[in-house]
Amino acid sequence: MLQVKHVSFGYSETKILKAIDFKVKAGENLAVIGESGSGKSTLLKLIYGEYDLNKGQIFWNDEEILGPKYNLVIGYDFMKYVSQEFDLMPFTSVEDNIGKYLSRFYPEEKEKRTAELIKVVELEAFAKTKVKLLSGGQKQRVAIARALAKEPEILLLDEPFSHIDNFKKQSLRRSVFKHLKENNIACIVATHDKNDVLGFADEMIVLHHSKIIAKNTPQHLYNNPELPLIASFFSEFNVIEPFGIVYAHQLKIVEQSDLKADVKASYFNGNSWLIEVDFNSESIFIENENEIQKNSTIYFKTEN
């Protein structure tokens, strides 16, 4: 189990993280979300032991994670970290980049394990390709496979799918997170993409103004967002008195109601359209099956 106990940290006098407390059990998937600059990457780096804490302690089981002041070599065998800037060996093939970390294995076993990891990140067609010839997204996948090579007990992933195109993203996420669950590897995923979280994270924490402002399951936070910042992570939303935070899909256009608005614009959204309306001189967003002509008057109600 990872224990982050009352951690505070700043690169300078200004604290980036204050009084951070949470735990991650073996095999558990924790998502860390927050706006850009909220300290997600910093938190992962602290857990990895890249910096000395100002206050607090971090443990993996009984072992305290120590920063560079107390630890000459950064990193531990039981923990791997895939940073936002993955550094690979450019002039070496994909399989050699991964295999390099498997020197203690017998050749046959090493080959089998390398092939398995290449499959997890769906790079079978590029096994023999030099890394320097790969796209950003492909490199990111090699970095993930390499981090998994030594079977860590805990994996830290910093925006792991950010460079990967939409064609591949969903299937790759499923493949990587399934591999982690099957092998009981704990992971902490820093992300601003809800698709990295919904369906995969057991718990999520929300960082804001240096603090954890919410910690719960994705289902709970989705259904009870409490703050606009949390709702905005999941979906298009509105704040309408007296209802509070209401997602666009929780509003419905109806024949008649007390809530009247004028259509300003319609945006195609795939499954539906997002209709922007003027309601009491404020813009609100309503999901609707069809486009609605600009300047039409509509009525709407909240679901349930």
Positions touching Mg ion (CB under 5 A) are: 40-41
49, interface contact from Mg ion, ligand ADP, none, CB < 5-8 Å by kind: none
Rounded to whole angstroms, the Cα distance separating 73 from 114 reads 26
Parallel, antiparallel or unpaired: strands 244-247 and 237-240: antiparallel
In this complex, which beta carbon is closest to ligand ADP, that of residue 118 or of residue 207? 207
34, interface contact from ligand ADP, Mg ion, none, CB < 5-8 Å by kind: ligand ADP
The 33-62 contact track toward ligand ADP, x by CB under 6 A, reads -x-xxxxxxx--------------------
Instruction: Give the helix, strand, coil percentages of the chain, each rounded to 5.
Output: 30, 35, 40
Neighbouring CB atoms inside 10 A of 160's CB total 27
* Binding of ligand ADP by 136 (CB under 6 A): no
In this complex, which beta carbon is closest to ligand ADP, that of residue 41 or of residue 114? 41
In this complex, which beta carbon is closest to Mg ion, that of residue 118 or of residue 157? 157
DSSP state letter for 130: B
In this complex, which beta carbon is closest to ligand ADP, that of residue 36 or of residue 295? 36
CB of 90 to Mg ion, least distance (A): 23
In this complex, which beta carbon is closest to ligand ADP, that of residue 74 or of residue 240? 74
CB of 37 to ligand ADP, least distance (A): 4
CB of 159 to ligand ADP, least distance (A): 8
Q: Tell me the DSSP string of 211-256.
A: EEEEEE-HHHHHH---SHHHHHHHS-EEEETTTEEEEGGGEEEESS
Rounded to whole angstroms, the Cα distance separating 106 from 167 reads 36
11, interface contact from Mg ion, ligand ADP, none, CB < 5-8 Å by kind: ligand ADP
Q: What angle do the packed helices 166-182 and 107-120 form, to 10 degrees?
A: 130
DSSP β-bridge partners for residue 278 = 262, 283
What's the distance, Cα to Cα, between the start and end of the chain in Å?
Answer: 41
Cβ neighbourhood burial of 107 (10 Å; 0-12, 13-18, 19+): exposed
CB of 11 to ligand ADP, least distance (A): 3
CB of 192 to ligand ADP, least distance (A): 8
Kind and range of the H or E run holding 143: helix 136-149
CB of 15 to ligand ADP, least distance (A): 10
* Binding of ligand ADP by 16 (CB under 6 A): yes
Neighbouring CB atoms inside 10 A of 47's CB total 21
In this complex, which beta carbon is closest to ligand ADP, that of residue 37 or of residue 136? 37
* Binding of ligand ADP by 103 (CB under 6 A): no
Q: Is 110 helix (H, G, I), strand (E, B) or coil?
A: helix
DSSP β-bridge partners for residue 287 = 274
In this complex, which beta carbon is closest to ligand ADP, that of residue 7 or of residue 98? 7
* Binding of ligand ADP by 210 (CB under 6 A): no
Give the binding-site size for ligand ADP (rule: CB under 6 A). 10
Q: Which residues bind ligand ADP (CB under 6 A)?
A: 11, 16, 34, 36-42
